[in-house]
Structure 1
Amino acid sequence: MGTGEDRRRYIPIAADRVDQLDENKLSAAIFPDSGVTFFKDSEPIELSSGQRLFAYIVINVVGAIRRNSLILVDEPELFLHPTLEIQFIDMLKQILFRFASKALLATHSVVTVREVPADCVHVFEKGDDELILKKPPFQTFGGDVQRISSYVFGDITVSKPFETWIKKQLSEYDSADDLIAALGDDVNEELIIQIRAMERD
């Protein structure tokens, strides 16, 4: 594709022509530092950093995996948009199934945890003298992200700035109803529930 020197830069790779690719020709034609280029309407397109990382991860997994492999992935969410996280997990499941393989993911993402069953989720907690391994007591696959966050990542035990703010506001108003009325359109249902619950406490 392309003209002049650019003709040497782009070699189409597709499932129906993989067997036709000549390694010697590839070695002579490609610039290794250029990486993989994606096209739309015959024009190269620029990928975001997250999209590039997604492509590189998938290409490396597909290139390295063999039957009965164990794939280790450390925090894939660090540079991926939540949408790409979901696509990555979905694609990883398909690849693992085809190669009868397993994957071990270390993650702090509720999006990732929501895409796998509870039997596949292991929560590590640091005890006084040991590492404690727990499993969620509820189904994480398709589960509520707030519930997952509270249990799996210990969100419920962490003091939150918005709770401190509510406590301060409640001390300045006569009641939760007065505070809610003062907030007007700036309050949502979840915050109303939280304000009423904290007033009772």
Structure 2
Amino acid sequence: MKRTILLLIPVFVFSLSALAQFSLPKLPYAYDALEPYIDSETMYIHYNHHHATYVNNLNKALESYPALQQKSVEDLIKDINGLPRDIQTAIRNNGGGHYNHTLFWSVLAPAGTTKMSNKLKKAIEKDFGSVAAFKSEFEKAATGRFGSGWAWLVKDGNGKLYITSTANQDNPLMSVADVKGSPILGLDVWEHAYYLKYQSKRADYIKAFWEVVNWNEVEKLFEK
């Protein structure tokens, strides 16, 4: 009897893990790698609690829809209104949260390890006039987002760059977004992203963000 139980347990665990299509992406740096601009405690909580919750809730929402489990998170959020009504809100919030945070982690890097290429610089200057003007407009979008949300640098279908912000876990890929395009840089301005270190000083957090942008990754997304 004991031998039978031991053989059944691994099968049960494996079948549970097989139901979870989405998982946390591995961070490409340590929790303290972005210090002093983003503190290690915030990074740990943000990644292991907030992002993990979005992933778990996304998988739970898809449990009754095997066909949808085969889709990428991008495909799911691009067609929110085409999903079954009972999971639209869950996918919007949690699929959006998973996509947004995955992109956010990828466009961060330890300070001083990357720099903006001439190619990306010229593209920014073409559409914003200067890098300084681009940063100023991005900061306005981030500080001006009332409540929780995100600021984005987005590339449209013609390759033009523009800046926008979205509420909650929405993003410009979504069919429900006011303006659409492919995000190439995103900044999380939910309070949980900065409050332990910056308290109510969101503007200071936004300024610090520039010190840890992974410009190499932003350029890869720009060239997609």
Same fold (TM over 0.5): no
By relative contact order (CA 8 Å, sep 6+), the higher-ranking structure is 2
TM-score normalised by length of structure 1:
0.24
